[in-house]
Amino acid sequence: MPTWLYDEPPTPFASGIAKYFSNSLREESLVTIALGGIIFTRGSVGTIQEVFQDVAQNHAETLGMISPMIFFGSDFWTKERPIYPIIKELADGRRYDAFVTVADTTDEVISFLKSHPSISV
């Protein structure tokens, strides 16, 4: 679901297409319905905003669930945009710590999702 703000194409896998007028509402909606977890790939400020929206939900357990957060591309998330170490530090000692990881292959992503399904809290 792209917004009118950016010239983003919709996913070719969509069964329906919607447009939001507010990017922040779009991001909040998508992060909130992603109860099975989110795989964060290379991105800029919008992606980083979504990371912090997701970590806020996991940290405060506001949805009654903890879901996986996978940072795909360790070089990007630890060096180019070093958000992963910050998120791991925030998660330290909390229930969602085990649900945060960085991965470099699709096999690692799949394995992590299988071994860390979302949990109710």
Following DSSP, what letter does each residue of 45-66 receive, concatenated?
HHHHHHHHHHHHHHHHTTTSEE
Cβ neighbours of residue 59 under 8 Å, at least 6 residues apart? 90, 91, 94, 96
pLDDT at 24: 73
CB 36 within 8 A of CB 118: yes
Question: Which residues of the chain are in CATH 3.40.50.450 domains?
Answer: 36-120
Residue 93 burial by Cβ neighbours in a 10 Å radius (0-12, 13-18, 19+) = exposed
36-120, what's its fold?
Rossmann fold (3.40.50)
Evaluate whether 72 touches 110 at the Cβ level (below 8 Å). Answer: no
pLDDT: which is higher, 90 or 21: 90
Mean pLDDT of 21-27: 72
Give pTM, 2 decimals: 0.84
Q: Is 59 exposed, middle or buried (CB count within 10 Å of its CB: 0-12, 13-18, 19+)?
A: middle
Assign 32 a pLDDT band (cuts: 50, 70, 90).
confident
52 falls in which pLDDT band (50, 70, 90)?
very high
